[in-house]
Structure 1
């Protein structure tokens, strides 16, 4: 049989694309087109497998329509017989630039090789290659470094945090080896769990695909050795994020919900810290359910989350999770968008008490601004979207640099730019690193 009868006439660029290396910064649409051609599918075949129109797929591939919904990306990956991460943009590169206060931004990715080396060296391989012991680790200094790293993570100062990570990994490894009692071993394992949790979060933000998973699993393993249920739950929270970004949507929901169920069994006279962790886990469960289009479950989780936030009665930052009524309101907006209703997300955003968030929770504020900006963008209200992105840049500039959705938004607006926003658009695109 002529394969063109089955697959349709291949694109004229098919042979060229097969010999090309896909650029890390290729868009989702460009990646779909690339892998579709490599598999020999026509647009008609792939769109048929997806139950979509050929015009829909054509618009996605040429950038006339945005594809940012993870569940749809997973369906495309399944149809193309690919790992979902192959359709997502690759890791961010170091692109140094100056911030408003003269600080150098965008350099964190250049530290990733050193972090990877430390992760490889200071694990099981250490005894095989004979890593020598070092002088006594000052656990108080390590604890302060971990606290500073979490502050950086919540203010999206990745270029300040990244250079500290290899040494934190090294110190946490040696602290465990040097522990001379059960109590000091538990303390060292606690520090190790926190080092790998904050490291996983940073690597995730930088667009790495494999390392965040390794760091999250090490955090969970170290936490389990402490026997601390809240530290273990924190490891589950981080693992849920990594699972979602890897396209493991069922597990990204099951893991935090199972951890939340375990905490609920000890809910009598629960402390605020206990409730904060419980509510944060449920938020991840709601996110996973919404991404899988299980809107009923997402709403059920949200109702329980709201009750938990009411029990706490205030915004807290236990375990660096920022749980409280304001973060719940921020998630309510995000969930509305994820469940396909950008207009409702915009309406709900008016009721988010952003003034309650302290400066150290800049990541929460900026994430919310990006969510609302994307909602306006989907409604083709580019001026409003751009204004929100400019506001977000003032709060946490590196979050814009290392957020794929921001890059997608700016590329889309550039393709459809209006004269009235041209100057602001070009300035922000240059800062983020999107070619005009």
Structure 2
């Protein structure tokens, strides 16, 4: 290594301030720029780097790591015991209450009137409706989940007839499915896995095809989003569930056809992550044909599978294949306004922004992320792709783009006001 090369902060144990300076300089970032990204002064950054101030607390560590676009917190701290995936969003204020409900054991004396599965199903439907219509959807379902989880567990525990027990298991599985939407991208991956696995077990106990399909769809996503080492597991879950559902489809209700279509697209999504272009588009084509069999206004409340979503799915396939020009072409064809769910519409806008960024159109990407924020602020706040684009453009050399990205960063919570 030449004497004028940038040192590797992991060659030897170094103080936090030295590590911060090395990583900042590798990013080509001045102290003033880093300070602005984390809401501090340039002199504060200098004093930390010189060891005149102690290493900051966890909240500031997270801000520094995000500003430096470091994926793992241990890269900044030098401590493997402080590893954290920074593609994870912030912890929601209701996370602790949801975690407590999941971890609680519904033991004790029998309740006077155990919840009935049909009543729980109605409450669950209302919760899904709230999720789709509210800009602060995590807040809405986070408030409802603790009681839903407890009551669904009780319904299973105190069901007497076998049919009632299976119906209660179906509701419990879907309550856990709703929980996964709340827990996604939050800093408790072990809780997300626990809920995903419990959902699958309850679904199998229910013997209901739709419930099994929904739980498998979410479990496959959990595997795929964990990384390439889990792609095979995601494919296995998807294919086994499709093998189970396919013979039922000729006589199936719309919800079963929809979840089979959602699983078919998931197979294409994973193929796109692998870079398998032909396979990814083949699955998308098949899923589009399945969506065409559904009534035009139909919209599946869990998977969003519908005719309206297929344009958004095409954008996702192109983005995951890193095809910038195709992403933009698909984005131009997809009509976000036809997606009735606010968080799903925001997610689509984020995927469009990824496409514009890939195609070298950062100004359009920022404008599209503004639209995502207007649709559902909580969606963009927890989305790692959106956060990465915003942080990148906060450092843009273009003054107007830098200003608009900074304003959005403040609204999303990435920068101090």
TM (norm. structure 2) is 0.79
The counterpart of 1:11, out of the listed 9, 12, 36, is 9
Structure 2: tracts of 5 or more residues without a match:
20-54
Cα deviation for residue 207 of structure 1 reads 4.6
SS at 2:144's partner residue? Answer: helix
Across the aligned residues of Structure 1 and Structure 2, the Cα RMSD in angstroms comes to: 3.1
Whether 1:89 aligns to 2:86 is yes
Whether 1:115 aligns to 2:98 is yes
SS at 1:350's partner residue? Answer: helix
Cα deviation for residue 408 of structure 1 reads 0.8
Contact 2:73/2:85 (<8 A) preserved: no
Which residue does the alignment assign to 2:204?
Answer: 224
The counterpart of 2:238, out of the listed 256, 261, 268, is 256
SS at 1:322's partner residue? Answer: coil
Cα deviation for residue 419 of structure 1 reads 1.8
Q: Deviation digits for residues 121-170 of structure 1, max 9, x if unmatched?
A: 13xxx55xxx4443423435433331232234334511121122111111
Contact 2:343/2:379 (<8 A) preserved: yes
Which residue does the alignment assign to 1:234?
Answer: 214
Matches within 5 A, 1:246-285: 246-247=226-227, 248-285=230-267
Q: Distance in 1 between matches of 2:7 and 2:88?
A: 34
Which residue does the alignment assign to 2:111?
Answer: 134
Matches within 5 A, 1:5-404: 10-11=8-9, 14-16=12-14, 23-24=61-62, 26-27=65-66, 29-31=69-71, 34-35=74-75, 88-89=85-86, 91-93=88-90, 109-122=92-105, 126-127=106-107, 131-139=108-116, 140-155=118-133, 157-247=137-227, 248-312=230-294, 314-358=296-340, 361-404=341-384
Q: Deviation digits for residues 293-313 of structure 1, max 9, x if unmatched?
A: 222321221221122122225
How many equivalent pairs are there? 366
Q: Distance in 1 between matches of 2:351 and 2:12?
A: 36
Cα deviation for residue 319 of structure 1 reads 4.7
Q: Deviation digits for residues 100-133 of structure 1, max 9, x if unmatched?
A: xxxxxxxxx12212222221213xxx55xxx444
TM (norm. structure 1) is 0.75
Segments ≥4 residues shifted beyond 6 Å: 17-22
Ranked by relative contact order (alpha carbons within 8 Å, sequence separation 6 or more), the top structure is 2
SS at 1:16's partner residue? Answer: coil
* Deviates further, 23-32 or 156-165: 23-32
Q: Distance in 2 between matches of 1:388 and 1:87?
A: 29
Judging changes above 3 Å, is the alpha-carbon distance between structure 1 residues 149 and 16 closer, same or farther for their aligned structure 2 residues?
A: farther
Structure 1: tracts of 5 or more residues without a match:
40-81, 95-108
SS at 2:333's partner residue? Answer: coil
Q: Distance in 1 between matches of 2:72 and 2:201?
A: 36
Q: Distance in 1 between matches of 2:313 and 2:269?
A: 8
Judging changes above 3 Å, is the alpha-carbon distance between structure 1 residues 312 and 86 closer, same or farther for their aligned structure 2 residues?
A: farther
Judging changes above 3 Å, is the alpha-carbon distance between structure 1 residues 134 and 16 closer, same or farther for their aligned structure 2 residues?
A: farther
Q: Distance in 1 between matches of 2:150 and 2:295?
A: 40
Which residue does the alignment assign to 1:418?
Answer: 398
Judging changes above 3 Å, is the alpha-carbon distance between structure 1 residues 435 and 13 closer, same or farther for their aligned structure 2 residues?
A: farther
Which residue does the alignment assign to 2:407?
Answer: 427
Judging changes above 3 Å, is the alpha-carbon distance between structure 1 residues 286 and 12 closer, same or farther for their aligned structure 2 residues?
A: closer
* Deviates further, 392-401 or 249-258: 249-258
